[in-house]
Amino acid sequence: MADTHDPIRVLHVDDEPEFGELVATFLEREHDRIEVRGVTDAEAGLDALADHDVDCVVSDHDMPGKDGIEFLRTVRDEYPDLPFLLFTGKGSEEVASDAISAGVTDYIQKGGGTDQYTLLANRIVNAVEASQSRRMLTERTRRLETLIGNLPGIVYRCRNEPTWPMETVDGEVEALTGYTAAELESDRVEWGPEVIHPDDREAMWDAVQEGLAAEGTFEVTYRLRTRDGDTKWVWERGRGVYADDGTVEALEGFITDVTERKEREDQLTQTTARLEALFEESPDMIDIHDAEGNILDANPQFFAETGYTEEEVTSMKVWDIDQTQDPTTIREVWRDMAVGDRQELDGEYTRRDGSTFPVTVHIRRLDLAGDDRFLVSSRDVSDRERRDRKLEQLRERSRALNYTRTVAETAQLATDAAAEIIGAELSSIHLVNDTGDRLEPVSMADSVEAVFDGSPAYDRSAPPGTRAHFAWEAFRADEPTHVRSTSGTEEITEETPAESVLFHPVGDHGLFIISSTNADAFTETDILLVEILANYLEAAFDRVVREETLRDRQRRLELLHDATQELIRADSRRAIADQIVEAAEEVLGFSVTVVRFFDPDAGELVPVAESDAVADVIPERRPFTADSGSLNWASFEADEVRVYDDIEADTGAVDAGSGLRSLMLLPLGTHGTVSVGETAPDAFDSTDEFLARILTTAAETALDEHERERRLRESRDELRRQNERLEEFVSVVSHDLRNPLNVATGRLDLARDDCDSEHFDAVERAHDRMEALIEDLLALAREDDTATDLAPIDPASTVRECWANVETGDAELVVEADRPILADERRLRQLFENLVRNAVEHGGDGVTVTVGGLDDGFFLEDDGVGIPAGQRDSVFEAGYSTSDEGTGFGLRIVKQVAAAHGWEIRATEGPDGGARFEVTGVASVDE
C-alpha cells in the first residue's frame, strides 16, 4: 500500500473558474494531502492528464464542448483505472445511470453549505486509496503467480494426516515427482505412502509434528521416490493453517529439489574430512597466514620440522620463520596475487635451535568468508640440494669419460668418481675376459684389496650361494640388483665382508659393483647416481672399444698396405702364397692359415703354403676336389667368402673334431683359396673379415698381375718371333720381288723400242698390279697395331686432300662431315684413300661418294652396286677382292687403321643401295 503521507493530486474540471477556486480551497483545507489543479473544460482536462501525474479526476457534468459523461468515457479509454468522481449540480437518475455505465468511480451532487466539500474530500481520499489498494493487490497477485511459476519446486495445501492428502498442488509437480498435479489432488496418488521414500516416512511425520507443536512451522529434508523409481532429495518448508478453535485445518508449504545440493554437501563433507586428514597427516609443512604475515595455523609436520610449539608458531610472522623473505617485498607479492593464484618461492627456514634448512614454498591465496588468507605448503629440499650437488659433480666426472683412451683408464675414472661422489669406498669394475668365463677386476677402490684380502674375480662356473655365482646372475639379468643385507639373503651363503651391495651391469662389458661393510648403506639417491654413472660408463666403454678397434684396424691396414706391396713385388706364385701366410699371421693375427692354388689339369685345390701352427692343429693337408665335400671347395666354386663361427655345429667340415673351431674361407678368384682358422669358437669379427678380404683381394690382384706378366712375356716372345719372320718377309718383298719386277719393267720398255705388239699393254698392267700388291703388302707389314700420334683433325679437308691423291675419274665427292676428331693424321689418310679407291674401283663410272658424320664417328658411302649382304664381313679379309684390278688388301688396311685407333668399322648398305662403311667409337675434340 502507498505511503499515507504521499500527496493526492486532483484534477478539477468545471466551467465556472470562481467555483473551481472555491472547491480547491475547501478540499486542500479539508485534507492536507490533497493538491488541486483546476481547468474549465474537458479538452483542457485531457491535456493536463497528458502533461501531469494525476491521482483522481473531479468533473462537472454540464460544460461547454464535451460534457462530464463524454469526458469520463474519453478518460476511461486512456486511463481505465484512474478514479473519476462526477460532482455536478444536475441530479437526475439518467445522468447517474449514464455515469455508472461509463465507469464513474463516485457520483456526488452539488448542494449548499460547506459540508459538501468535506464529503467530496473524503470520497476523493477513499477512491484514491481504494484504487491504490487494487493496484497493489493486482501486482502482488501477479508477482505471486510469477514466483510460483518460476520456483524450482512446488507449492501445496494438504491435510495434516500421515498420508498427506493433497488439496491443491502447483508448480513443477511432474518434473519433481513424475506424477501430475491432478493425480495428487484426486488422491489417486498419495504423497505419504507412494511418494515419500519408505525409509523417511516416519522421521518426516515426526519432524513436521514437532515443528507445528513448537512454532506452527516446520522445515524438513527427506527423500522422494519418483514414478520412474529414481530417488531425489527434497527440502520442504511449511506452516499450519489453524481453525478458530486452534486445531490444524491444513498445511501450506513449499517443496524443492535439493538432490544436487545434498550430493555437493556430502561430497564437501568427504572432501573436508580428506583435507583435514591431509592437513594433519601431510608429510609437507603446511601453514596458513593472513595478509600481514601473521601465522594463524600450522600442521603437526610444521611443528616437527621447525621445533616450535603451536603457541610459539601462532605468535610469529612469516619472516620470523623464513628470514630470507623481506617483509615489504613479500607483502607486494601477496598483494599482486589474485584469489586462487599460486606462487612458488625458494626459502630457508630457521629452526627453534637456530639451525636452518632450504625449502621450496608453494603459496595459494584464498578468500575465506571475506578474509584474505594464504595457504602455504613447504618442503625440506636439503636432500634434493645434496643430490643436485652430487649430480653436478657426476656430470663433471662423466664429461671426463668422453676423453679417455683405454678401458683401464675409463674404469679407473668411474671407480674414483664412485668413491668421491657416492662415498663408495668398496667400488670396483669387473669385465668379462676374452674367453667369456670370468669377470675379472679392471679397476678397484684402494680399500678393496685390504677388505677382501686380494682382488676378487668371479668364475662363471661358481656354485650357487657364492659371491661369484650371484655376480654372474646379476650380470646375466642385465638390470641393477640391490642387496640391502647379504647376511639376510639366502642367495649369498658364502661369507663376505660386503654387507650391502649394488650390482649394475655395464652392457655386455661386465659389472659395476658398489659395496659397503654396513647393511642398507645406500640411499635412493646413491642408487640413482650409480645408475647414471653406470650408463655413462657403458657409453664410454663402447666408445673406447670402438676407438681401439678403429685404431687397431688402422694399424693393421697400414701393415696390410705394406704387405700388399710385398705381394705385388713377389716374383712367383709360390712367393705370393708365402707372403699371404706371413701377412695373415703377422699382420692380421691369424694362427692357422693355408693357401691352396687350383690345378686346372688335375681339377684340385692343392695346398702350397701354410703357417707353422697348422701342423699342431689339423692333419696333413691334402688336395680338395669337387667331390671331396669340403667347405673349402664349396667356397671356391661359389666364389664367396664364408665364415663359420664353430665348425663343430653340424657344418660337415672335414676338419671337425681336429681342435679347429672357427673357420673363414676366402676365394682367390680362379687361382684358389685362403683358409683361416682358430681353435676358439666365434673368433672372427667383422674387422677380421674386412681385413682378410683386403688381403685376399690384393693377393688375387697380385696373382692376376703375375698371370698377365707371364702371358705378356709369352706374347712378347711370340711377337718377337713374328717380327723376325715379318722382317724376313719384308726383305723378300722389297728386294727379291721388286728387283725382278724392275728388270721386267725395263725389258718391257726396251722391247717397245724394238717392235710393237698388242701384248705389251697386258704385260704392263700385270706389272702395275704386281707393284700395287707389293706396296699394299709392305703397308700391312710395316704399320704398328696402335695409333700414337693423335691430334685434332678436320675430316672434311682431309678427305678432300685424299680425293685429290687418288685416281677418281668422273666420280664425284660430297662432304657433309664438319666435326673435328682426334686421330693419327697419316693413318687417317690411309683409311680415307683406301675407302675412296675402293668406292671408285667398285662403284662404276660417275659414282658419287659421300662422307658424313655420325654421333660417335663418320661414314663413307657410294651410290654404286653395293656389297652383297653375305660378303660384308669378308671384305676386310686380306686378299679378298671382287675386282680384277683390286689387290684385296685395301679394306684390310682400312680395318687395321680403325683397330689401331680403337675404332669399330662395319660394311652395310647405303640409302641408294651402294656400299656404306661406318666408323664408330671415334673421339671428338670436345670429348
pLDDT surpasses 70 at 729: no
Q: In the block, which residue shows the cell 696402335? A: 786
Helix or strand holding residue 412 (H, E): helix 407-417
User: Are 108 and 82 a contacting pair, CB within 8 Å?
Assistant: no
Q: Is 52 left (phi over 0), alpha (psi -120 to 50) or beta?
A: beta
Q: What is the pLDDT of residues 377-434, one digit of tens each?
A: 999 888 777 777 777 777 777 788 888 889 898 888 888 888 877 777 788 889 999 8
Please provide the DSSP assignment of 762-793 as one string.
HHHHHHHHHHHHHHHHHHHHHS-SS---EEEE
Alpha-carbon span 812 to 862, nearest angstrom: 10
Segment 856-903, tens digit of pLDDT: 999 999 998 888 888 888 888 865 565 555 555 678 888 988 988 889
Instruction: Kindly report the average pLDDT of the chain as a whole number.
Output: 84
DSSP state of 550: H
Q: What are the DSSP calls for 600-646, one per residue? A: TTTTEEEEEEE-TTHHHHS-----B-TTS--HHHHHHHHT--EEES-
Label residue 737 by pLDDT band (50, 70, 90).
low
pLDDT exceeds 80 at position 26: yes
pTM: 0.41
The full DSSP string for 113-135 is SSHHHHHHHHHHHHHHHHHHHHH
Residue 210 has pLDDT above 90, yes or no: yes
**Sign of the CA dihedral with 554 first, then 558, 563, and 564 last:** positive
* Start-end of H helices in 447-505: 448-452, 467-477
Residue 509 pLDDT more than 70? yes
What's the grid cell of residue 529? 647416481
CB 783 within 8 A of CB 752: no
Locus of grid cell 639373503: 489
- 628-669 per-position pLDDT tens digit: 888 889 999 999 999 999 888 877 787 777 788 889 999 999
> What strands lie across the sheet with 8-13, from one edge to the other?
34-39, 8-13, 56-59, 84-88, 106-109
Does the pLDDT at position 108 exceed 90?
Answer: no
**Residue 424 to residue 742: CA distance in whole angstroms:** 114
If you average pLDDT over residues 605-621, what whole number do you get?
85
Q: Is 832 or 924 the better-scoring residue by pLDDT?
A: 832
3-class SS at 66?
coil
Q: What confidence score (pLDDT) does residue 368 get?
A: 77
Least confident of 311-320, 684-693, 713-722: 713-722
Q: By the 8 A CB rule, do 339 and 315 touch?
A: no
